[in-house]
A and B are shown apart, each in its own frame.
Chain A
């Protein structure tokens, strides 16, 4: 009996457990573990996978799906979807090149096409939030609409990449040693969006909007304004990444960005973003995009048929959700 008071005293949490819990509570842990596992697997399958040249190849196309995924991650955290990003990805360079064709200065053309992308985001936001149509539907429509308009403008043929765009190309995707400038932009963007999301009011309100819009409203935050801004940001980033790819390939493909909307959502989810909103990480989304690039490249290096790509993404995606859920629960239970 006299042992009871002692037993009721909560034991001090051991340092090791504390540290482990800390690591498990980091949102990016599971995606990072999967990234390491994938790197190890593909390295074992083909040692050339980790050669400098191949790493450069992997990183070359990373910013394109990565920047797209960063925007989609933000939007998903605020509780909405955008399926039109893949079409906007193709739309932006097509508009830029068409305007340049009409004699507009290439920089001005870029500015106008990016502004139009922002308008597309604003349109998605207005239709979704004012008329109260689920964004899944609004942007599914947008996906078809903007792809259709791309095909109408180009009549299905890729317009020529204008020669006067060489400076623009150098600025967007110029080579610096082994990497391209676009990679630096991507890293900078992820850092900025991380700060915005984790360390500013807007980010805090984005989490709150996705987590419980009613609470946000009661506390004086307008969830619609938050979502609207994330819609615009997402479309803008989709256009920007489209410009980066078109510049890198020196080609404006009407079919560019197909399936990218799903890859971006996959990257976000692999990175710990929840479909229901309120939970997610921009760095996780970037890791997810890198993982997708690694799978794409690693399978080629391992000599596997290209069909395996989707299978691998599927496995990683489902594994990520399972890991994220169980790790979160484990971390919560480790109270002592």
Chain B
């Protein structure tokens, strides 16, 4: 079943993953198109996280391959995946609470300048660029030097998404982005995802809450016991049908 937004950006073919004798993924095929929002749903233990960890370079598949824009790729670390334009946002690991916004946005990819042989952080440019990145996602913060601890859950997601967009991520994986968020803030996150799509960035929205993902997704993929049991465009299905698939 083709997504409505055109060609395939990334495709995972026949992915298998075992942990000891436990089989977490049994031959899953999964694809994401350009500018497409894919909802990845399933109950706890269905294999959602494992599939995403394979895609984002946390660990390699035991069988199967990943094809990015027509070429087979092997990621040996999340860093490799990031360099290929695939970035994951996970609430607990997205930001360092004790650091300010600009340092978070540029963490691991700091802007620097040289003072003789010494390489120093360019905090001023990092603050300016952060402010620009935050404006892109429509997030108004008092200052890019504010501590992340001061931010609400939705604002934190906004900072993480701003970071991904700043670094030209082409596929953003959002792992349970609406967990523990108020209704208002969840809606804000959904808005971010729509904005991403408008800017040509694909995203995978992982959740066990169909009500959050359904309005935002172009296509929904349901995993169960490590197998893909459904892969449907949103207009061809309904929340009721998907719920039935997930729990049946």
Contact = CB atoms under 8 A, between A and B. Distances in A.
Whether A and B are associated in the same complex: the answer reads yes
Interface of A: 195, 198-201, 203-205, 207-208, 210-212, 214-221, 274, 278-279, 332, 335
A113 to B, nearest CB: 29
A195 B82 CA distance: 29
Contacts of A207: 96, 98-99, 103
Q: How large is the interface on B (under 10, 10 to 19, 20 to 34, 35 or more residues)?
A: 20 to 34
Contact of A279 (B95, B98, B103, B108): B98
B101 to A, nearest CB: 13
Interface hub of A201, A207, A219 (most chain B Cβ within 10 A): A219
B229 interface: no
Given A207-B98, A210-B98, A219-B108, 8 more contacts: A199-B120, A201-B119, A216-B108, A217-B93, A218-B93, A220-B82, A278-B96, A278-B99
Interface stretch (B14-22, B142-150, B177-185, B192-200): B142-150
B147 A212 contact: no
A220 B77 contact: yes
Interface in B78-99: 78-79, 82, 88, 90, 92-99
Contacts of B233: none
Contacts of B95: 212, 215
B107 A204 contact: yes
Contacts of B121: 198-201, 203-204
A221 B149 CA distance: 21
B110 interface: yes
B98 A201 contact: no
B5 interface: no
B110 A204 contact: yes
Across the A-B interface, the 9 shortest Cβ-Cβ residue pairs = A219-B108, A278-B98, A220-B79, A211-B98, A211-B96, A214-B93, A212-B96, A220-B108, A199-B120
Given A219-B107, A220-B77, A211 B97 contact: yes
